[in-house]
Every structure is written in structure tokens, then in C-alpha cells.
Amino acid sequence: PAFQKNLEVGPFETVNIYPLMCHILGIQPEVNDGHLSVTKHMLVISDSRGSGDEKTNYLKNAFTGLAAVAGFLVVTFIAIMSQKMLKRKHKNKRSD
């Protein structure tokens, strides 16, 4: 519910996701290289007087989104490291 529906955006650096998620969760981000101004236009302008259930769902969805991004980054890291290990193994096998 935090994001505009059917919104298509151009590419942006992933470093800008952290300040966006902190904004959605209502927490103060640590010092980082990201900028909320890059991604804030994707958010729905909401009324801060929402009910408790709406706020709970909002946080739940924010955590789900953050977990999805983190999961994607972990899978990408594993794939890249596996590829590097296989290349190194193949290179060592050739030199024997």
C-alpha cells in the first residue's frame, strides 16, 4: 500500500532502497550513500491518521518488501560467488 499502483519507473541505484525502506518504516536511517529523493515519488501520499490495522498491514508489507529485496540480493551474491568458484576450479584443473 505504500507504493503507487501500476507505476513504472526507470532504473535507479539500489543504494536508494535503504532510505526508502527506512522512510516507509518510520525509522531514522544510518548514514549511507542513498537518497530518499530518488525514490520518494513512487510512494502514495498517505493520511497519517490511519487505523491501527492499516498501520500494522503497512509495516507488514514494508517488511515483506524489504525481505524480498534482501532475498534477491542474497541469491544474486550466491550465484556470482558460485560462478567465480567454478571458474577458479576450471582454471586450476587446466593448469594441472
Across the chain, mean pLDDT equals: 85
Q: Which amino acid is at 51?
A: S
The pLDDT tens digits for 53-95 are 666 777 888 888 899 999 999 999 999 999 999 998 888 877 6
- Taking the domains of the chain in order of start, what are their residue ranges? 14-69
Reported as a pLDDT band with limits 50, 70 and 90, residue 49 is very low
What H or E segment, with its residue span, contains residue 22?
A: helix 17-25
The answer to whether the pTM exceeds 0.75 is no
What is the C-alpha to C-alpha distance for residues 34 and 43, in angstroms, rounded to an integer? 16
What is the C-alpha to C-alpha distance for residues 3 and 46, in angstroms, rounded to an integer? 10
Torsion of CA 62, 20, 44, 2, to 10 degrees: 0
- What percent of the chain stands above pLDDT 70? 86
